[in-house]
Amino acid sequence: MSPTAHRIVFRLCAPLHSGWRKLGNLQQTRPYVTGRMLWGALTARLVRDANNGANYGEVGQNIDEGFPAFSYFYPSVNPKKVELWPWDDPELFSWLFLGSYASTALRDGHSAEEGMLHETEYIAPRTRDDRPVYLIGYLLEPSGKFQSEWHQALSRLQLGGERGYGWGRLAVECGPEKNKKLFGYHMDANRVIVPKGQPLLAHTKADGLSCTGTIEPLVGRVTDTASGSFGKNPSEAVICWVPGSKANQEIKFRIGPKGIWEKVS
């Protein structure tokens, strides 16, 4: 059976740090939510809801088998569509959607410890002109409908870094609702057709792929409950074109686990 694309819109209820890279004392955020982040948040939510000693690895594998694909999720002030992509006008995007929070360690409870000042960038829950921020994306599900516990879990997800301070809280604004396209691109099963000159909307494996843009090694964090390692181990690096890179010809992509795209030969 061909997977069904379900469009879902979250309303951002708190700052969201989508971990990326560090420049000086600034920990930058990606300007979007990766498929791995959605997968990890849904895994954590289902494990906690089960409250029966469920294993993170086993639940995560079940999600991979039940959801053949996650899209990336993009900020927007319009819950119906993404009006400004991060690469369209980076300065305007940053002004509208991004903020930062500075903090430091205290040496004696009163004075700042030298060299410990750091700043964390985030996607803000409201724009600088005070409009609510939404996250728009898609989940592909093979049977055509969501399992009830997964549907319930979507309304109680928490994404990204600094979750202990209440960051990354989401509320479902609308959906999941069936859709025949993914961000306007035509779909063929769990494959998305990108016209020539149009942007890739997820990290895409670079091997043998002709695009114009930027390449980076994509690395995530892996939880191994058997060893008690929660998010400490890096995943294997995947060399990818970054979102916003443009296809040099019409290309059909398979949407793989964690939302990573791969060219269909």
Between CA 138 and CA 46 the distance in angstroms is 19
Q: From the CB of residue 225, how many other CB atoms can be counted at a distance below 10 Å?
A: 14
> What is the value of pTM for the model shown?
0.88
Query: What pLDDT is stored for residue 168 in this prediction?
Result: 94
Helix pair angle (56-66, 35-50), 10° resolution: 120
- The torsion angle over the Cα atoms of residues 264, 185, 250 and 139, rounded to 10 degrees, is -20
Average pLDDT, the chain: 86
Between CA 49 and CA 54 the distance in angstroms is 10
Helix, coil or strand: residue 51? coil
Confidence band (pLDDT; 50, 70, 90) for 114? low
* Class of the CATH domain delimited by 4-263: alpha beta
| Nearest to 120, CA basis, from 135, 106, 99 | 99
Query: Per residue in 157-184, pLDDT tens?
Result: 999 988 888 999 999 999 888 888 999 9
Query: Per residue in 213-262, pLDDT tens?
Result: 999 999 876 666 555 555 566 778 899 999 999 999 999 999 988 899 99
